[in-house]
Amino acid sequence: MGKSSKDKRDLYYRKAKEEGWRARSAFKLLQLNEQFQLFKGVRRVVDLCAAPGSWSQVLSREIYQKAKLEDTKLESYIEPKLVAVDLQPMSPIEGVTTIQADITHPRTMNKILSVFGGEKADFVCSDGAPDVTGLHDLDEYIQAQLILSALQLTCCILKEGGTFVAKIFRGRDIDLMYSQLGFLFEKVVCAKPRSSRGTSLESFIVCIGYKPRLGWKPTLELDKSTEEFFQNSGIGRAQLNKNDLSFPLEERIIAPFIACGDLSSYDSDATY
């Protein structure tokens, strides 16, 4: 989408090399954290679409490494748990459990849940992006499906009050997504880190304060699609009415936009 594909060897790329990040994406998570204090009190995280693993590196450094310094005997100590999932294989990162799987597949969700062993996560993030075809509406649909899959997992595993962050491309139907997320979180913000190019449509939804839907029990079933999973969630997704196929209109909302990262920090659009 847009010009994002042109990976100019920019400053962030060089800086990532210097600092030992596997990808320049690390700075996006770091800048989002700067703005939203995402990692505060966070111990258990699911990092979806994580390869090559720079977000996992950040999480490992900020959560796992910091926890190592703490006194494990304290009653308040909670064992950190980081799980990273991607279609692609990932070389190991200290403190991170990696799973190679398709996040749109219900089986993958089960795998993740079993790693957590029934416990809840504090934070779910997804930096997933499908291979774009060039058919803008189809690409947007697939991207929305990735987010929906991540959201499906989130509904099953995120603790009340937890945070969900996912990559989005602000296309024609992004306001539908904002509206639906609004049913599940206290606050939904569209954030653009300065390390993400202004020329690309990429930004991130930061959803703070998970509030499970009253009267809806999210349950993963192997033979259910994500669409069916959300069928009775009441988040404003169009319901299938077999007796009336007239096209349903869905609610749209514009989420507030926040640019994050220091203004004096590098500009990813610039070429030097």
Partner 1 sequence: LRPLSHYGPVVACRFYKEFVLASNGPNLKIYRYLEDELVLTKRIFKENKIHGIAISHDLTRFALYGSRSFTVVYGEKELFDEKFDHLQLGVNDWIKSMEFSYDDKVVYLLTAHNVVFTVDLGTLKIIDEKSFKEKSILYSGSIQVLSQEKVLIAAGTISGGVFVWDLFENKLIRNLVGHEGAIFDVKISNDGNYCASCSDDRSVKIWDLSTGSNLATGWGHNSRIWNLCWYDNNKKIFSQSEDCTSRSWIYHEDNDLLYCEAVYETNLGKHIWCGDVNDDFKIAVTGGADGRLMLINLKSLEPSLNPSFQNNCWKKQFSMDVISELTKVEIEKNEIFKNYVDLNNNSIVCITSKGKVFILKDNYSKWEFLYQDLLYDNYSLTNYFKEENLVTFTSSKGTISALKFDDNSGLSKKVTIKINNLKGKITNVLTTKKNDENFLMFMESPNPKDGFMLIEANFELTTEPIITSLGKPETLFVLTCLAYDITNNWLLVGSRHTTFVLYDLDTGKMLNVWKKFCPGDTITSMSIIDSSYGKVILMMTVRDGLYMYLEIRKDPVGNILTKIIQNNRIQRGFLEGGFLNHKKELILYGFKSHTFFLWNETRQFEIFKEICGGAHRIWNFVINDCANDNYKFIYNKSAHLVIRNTGNAIFKDNCLDNGTHGREIRNVTILSNYTRKNGGKLFISGAEDTCVRLSEILPNGEVNNFWSLRRHVSGLQKTKFIKSEKDEKVFYCITTAAREEFFLWEIIDHPILGPLINCYATLEPSSAEPDLRIMDFDTLPIYNSKQELQGYLILNVYSDSSIKIFEFNLNKRRFELLIEDRYTTCCLWDTRFILKNGKLFVMVGATDGYISIWDITFEISDIRKENIQCLQKLLIRQQIHQSGIKTHTLIQHPYDYNILDLVTGGDDNALVNTRLVFSEISNNITLEIKSFKENAASSTITSSTLIPSYKNGKYAKIIVTSVDQRLRVWRIDYHLDSTSNDGELVCEDCAYTTVADTGCSDVCLIEDKQNINSKCIALIGGAGLSCWEITS
Ligand X SMILES: C[S@@+](CC[C@H](N)C(=O)[O-])C[C@H]1O[C@@H](n2cnc3c(N)ncnc32)[C@H](O)[C@@H]1O
- Of these partners, ligand X, partner 1, none, which one is at the site of residue 219 (CB under 5 to 8 Å by kind)? none
Q: Residue for token digits 């509030």?
A: 211
192 is catalytic: no
Min separation Cβ 78 and partner 1, Å: 34
- Neighbour-count burial of 251, counting CB atoms closer than 10 A to its CB (0-12 exposed, 13-18 middle, 19+ buried): middle
- Of these partners, ligand X, partner 1, none, which one is at the site of residue 22 (CB under 5 to 8 Å by kind)? ligand X
Rounded CA gap, 86 and 50, in Å? Answer: 5
Query: Which part of the chain contacts ligand X (CB under 6 A), choosing from 35-43, 60-68, 126-134, 232-240?
Result: 126-134
Residues binding ligand X: number (CB under 6 A): 22
- Cβ(143)–Cβ(169) below 8 Å: yes
Which of 3, 66, 159, 167 is catalytic? The answer is 167
Tell me whether residue 73 or residue 242 sits nearer to partner 1 (CB atom).
Answer: 242
Tell me whether residue 39 or residue 55 sits nearer to ligand X (CB atom).
Answer: 55
Tell me whether residue 178 or residue 210 sits nearer to partner 1 (CB atom).
Answer: 178
Q: Residue for token digits 């994050």?
A: 260
Bridge partners of residue 202, in order along the sequence: 169
Tokens, residue 81: 């748990």
Tokens, residue 2: 């847009």
Rounded CA gap, 197 and 212, in Å? Answer: 34
Rounded CA gap, 248 and 246, in Å? Answer: 6
Q: Which amino acid is at 103?
A: I
- Of these partners, partner 1, ligand X, none, which one is at the site of residue 223 (CB under 5 to 8 Å by kind)? partner 1
Give the footprint of partner 1 on this chain (CB under 8 A): 1-3, 8, 87, 102, 104-106, 131, 133-138, 141-142, 145, 170-172, 174-175, 178, 192, 194, 198, 201, 223-228, 237-240, 242-248, 252, 254, 256-259, 263, 266-267, 269-272
Tell me whether residue 44 or residue 237 sits nearer to partner 1 (CB atom).
Answer: 237
**3-state class of 268 per DSSP?**
coil
Residues 6+ apart with CB under 8 A from 11: 266, 268, 270, 272
Tell me whether residue 72 or residue 246 sits nearer to partner 1 (CB atom).
Answer: 246
- Of these partners, ligand X, partner 1, none, which one is at the site of residue 271 (CB under 5 to 8 Å by kind)? partner 1
- Of these partners, partner 1, ligand X, none, which one is at the site of residue 272 (CB under 5 to 8 Å by kind)? partner 1
132: contact with ligand X by CB under 6 A: no
Min separation Cβ 176 and partner 1, Å: 9
Question: Which DSSP state fits 78?
Answer: -
Rounded CA gap, 61 and 75, in Å? Answer: 23
The packing angle between helices 26-36 and 11-19, to 10°, is 90
* Binding region for ligand X (CB under 6 A): 22-23, 25-26, 49-55, 86-88, 102-104, 127-130, 146
Q: Where in the sequence numbering do the catalytic residues fall?
A: 167
